[in-house]
Amino acid sequence: MAGNNDQHSRVARNRTQPKPPKKHWFRRIILTIIALIVIGGLAGVGLFFYYAQSSPKITESNLKSENATRIYDANDKLVANLGASNRDYVSSNHIPTALKSAVVSIEDRRFYQHKGVDYYRILGAALGNLKGSSLGMQGGSTLTMQLVKLSVFSTKDSDRNLKVKAQEAWLALNVEKHFSKSQILEYYINKVYMGNGIYGMGTASHYYYGKSLDKLSLSQVALLAGMPQSPTYYDPIQYPKYATSRRNLVLQAMYDNKVITKQQETDAINEDVKTDLASTSERTSIIAQQKHTVIDAYLKEVITDLKSKGYDPYKDGLKVYTNLNSNAQQRLYDIANTDKYVSYPNDTAENRFQLGVSVVDSYTGKVSAMVGARKNDNVTFGTNHAVQQDRSNASTMKPILDYGPAIEYKSWPTYKTVADTKYKYPGSNTEVHDFDNNTLGNMTMRQALVQSRNIPAVKTLQQVGRAKAAAFANDLGMGFTGTIPYAYAIGANVSSLQVAGAYAAFANGGTYHKPYYINKIVTQDNRTTNYSSNGKRVMKKSTAYMVTDMLKDVINSSTGTAQTAKISGVYQAGKTGTDNYPKDANKPANAEIDSWMAGYTKNYSVAVWTGYDKPGEADGYIDSSTSKISQVIYREMMTYLQEHSPNSDWTKPSSVGTVKKNGIEELYVVGHIFSASEANSGTSAASSSSSSDSASSSSSSSSDSSSSSSDSSSSDSSSSSSSSESSSSSSESSSSSESSAPAASSSTEQPADNNQNQ
């Protein structure tokens, strides 16, 4: 019994013992996921409506208007409307059914089913993107959303964020409530950018095929429907291969959408996209209104600037406020293109006497005016010589790379002796020459700059050291890289805009502002971005003042090379530059490749390049009758600018002292007045110097080892090596005739044959 009782008690205990709980972890995970999805969904809905509250307003006018960017001058006056051609607005009842079907098939196949936002398409697009397919319809935006984007939002990539996408969706839903599908499709077809400044498929039909929409073939309709994705690359005139591929994709989408038959698709694919293209004259007549001849060069740079900032000037519908002084621009255009101010040579369209002129505000860096060519009215956005960097700036480089650095780093006084004696580029057997193939002995730095002698300039660069000199020049926007050739002392390939920007720093006392065109951009959703050029002090006030004082003599002195640029009563400073042919060029002795004049007042800096596009041709050179035209252009432009600006002289800073030398008031950096022996140090220069950059640049400012000096003639022509640079190991070849663009070169110089550069 006891055993049985004991057994029963164990059984009883087992029966009463609690069972372990069932495992519900899987259900809990599922519930947690569902909860998170619900919370995430609610948060997403909340965020959507939060963003929607700040959506911009959209009107029928927004939807119907062309999406052109408007350009304004410095006084907020409208000066250009990109795409302002006679847009052929086509109402819905005149839009062919085939075009509507093509647009819907390639852009938004469920257009007639959704209410502005296609949730199925968004999901399908996500899956399609993962698979890398879906006929180019990976994007989740509907036609209505695309219309909204084109009407009130920027297409800039950095602006394509979650907030904007939510607002697009919200506005698309509202647009669908107030406008019919037919109206929405009409607005879209008339708004999209079609390349070459053309907006709307109706206008594009005339531009590309010379006929109205209802006269187009199925192949042509399909191409127009597909072009908005990339109008530049699907241009049948310029890129027929890409255009054909895009057209075929649209035709395939139309067949898949059951709006054309297989036979229709095949027949259209077999049609060449170049069939029945409009003639050049027909296209020209359509875009004639888009020509902005007077501001062509300036406008071209503004458009380039917009693109560099990430905007699409033909799709974003921007308001762009520039620094353009319209009155100054008109005067500059007239100076360049009429005989009222300048007597230009008789030339031909094949090789016309050309110019490039940049006008920069000395205090701010604002580009006030620009002309890139003359007699170029039949070309839109043609060659802009004002910003090209393929011609030597000749002696206008001397203040930037030679004498400015000498004052800045070595505290040279304006009476520092430099030597115009026979001299070879360091590390080479090539002699440096001037226009007259003569040497004039010892002279002061002021005389060397005023009379634009070459040998003292190259010697000065060597004394300063190329690394330091290049750093100084780069702070002025020259953009040099690597070890510069010694030939850059007398000219390098930089633009008139770069020279004007650099000289503006001398004008304002030593602060460099990178030249800029745009001061404000307003997007379609009224977001404003302001622009300015933050000034950077790149030299001491003493350097800027002393350079300016010497450059005033270039214009005012009887031995100066820029006397033609003199304007009575105007305080100004400047420098000429001419670039001569090498000896073996088979040109007249006085032939020049380029002629420059760069100068400034306290208000404006103006740089002028003149020359021919084809200087190698028989009649493509500047001679004594045209060499001074650059100075005349400068003088006429600066005269106009100063009529509308205050005229005052520069004030000597306290860091600059004065001393009489040979009856001339010379300048020195306070604390660095040179004794006679210091000023004349190094005047017994040998015919070829071999001192290294590092050694010369380490010389103290009060104990300079420089080349010798004496008075010289007043010509601005200088000579150097030939236009090609050949360098061997540890040797540097440079040219002052056609100096190569700023680029790295080796450490010593071994130039080729000589040419003269002024």
For the chain, the farthest-separated pair of C-alpha atoms sits apart, in whole angstroms, at 144
Tokens of residue 462, six digits: 């060597």
Is 107 one of the annotated active-site residues of the chain? yes
β-bridge mates for residue 659, sequence order: 666
Question: Is 549 in contact with 346 (CB distance < 8 Å)?
Answer: no
Burial zone of 122 (CB within 10 Å; 0-12 exposed, 13-18 middle, 19+ buried): middle
Rounded Cα distance between 96 and 216, Å, is 9
- The end-to-end CA distance of the chain, in Å, is 133
User: Taking the CB of residue 677, how many other CB atoms lie within 10 A of it?
Assistant: 8
β-bridge mates for residue 434, sequence order: 718
Chain centroid to Cα 348, Å, comes to 30
Tokens of residue 505, six digits: 């720093």
Rounded Cα distance between 173 and 150, Å, is 16
Tokens of residue 607, six digits: 């740089």
DSSP state of 55: P
Question: Is 484 in contact with 453 (CB distance < 8 Å)?
Answer: no
> Could you give phi then psi for residue 579, rounded to 5 degrees?
-120, 115
Rounded Cα distance between 740 and 383, Å, is 20
Among 371, 424, 391, residue whose Cα is nearest residue 637: 371
Among 586, 546, 709, 565, residue whose Cα is nearest residue 636: 565
Question: Is 485 in contact with 732 (CB distance < 8 Å)?
Answer: yes
- The side-by-side arrangement of strands in the sheet containing 592-600 is 367-371, 353-361, 604-612, 592-600, 573-582, 754-757, 718-721, 433-434
Among 637, 416, 653, residue whose Cα is nearest residue 544: 653
Rounded Cα distance between 266 and 288, Å, is 37
User: Given 395, 533, 723, 740, which residue is catalytic?
Assistant: 395
Is 732 one of the annotated active-site residues of the chain? no
Q: In what helix (H) or strand (E) does residue 754 lie, and over which residues does it extend?
A: strand 754-757
User: Given 107, 168, 592, 666, which residue is catalytic?
Assistant: 107
Question: Is 549 in contact with 664 (CB distance < 8 Å)?
Answer: no
Sign of CA dihedral 582, 583, 584, 588: positive
Task: Give SS3 for 1.
Answer: coil
DSSP string, 643-698: HTS---PPPPPTTEEEEEETTEEEEEETT-PPPHHHHTTT-S--SB----HHHHHT
- For helices 218-226 and 240-256, the axis angle rounded to 10 degrees is 100
Rounded Cα distance between 332 and 427, Å, is 45
Tokens of residue 120, six digits: 């199925």
Rounded Cα distance between 240 and 246, Å, is 10
Burial zone of 3 (CB within 10 Å; 0-12 exposed, 13-18 middle, 19+ buried): exposed
Question: Is 59 in contact with 170 (CB distance < 8 Å)?
Answer: no
Task: Give SS3 for 193.
Answer: strand
Count of helix runs (H) and strand runs (E) in the chain: 25, 19
DSSP string, 704-726: ----------S---EEEE-SS--
Rounded Cα distance between 286 and 226, Å, is 21
Q: Where are the alpha helices (DSSP H) in 159-291?
A: 162-178, 181-191, 201-209, 218-226, 240-256, 262-269, 280-287
Rounded Cα distance between 566 and 36, Å, is 79
What are the residue numbers of the active site?
107, 395
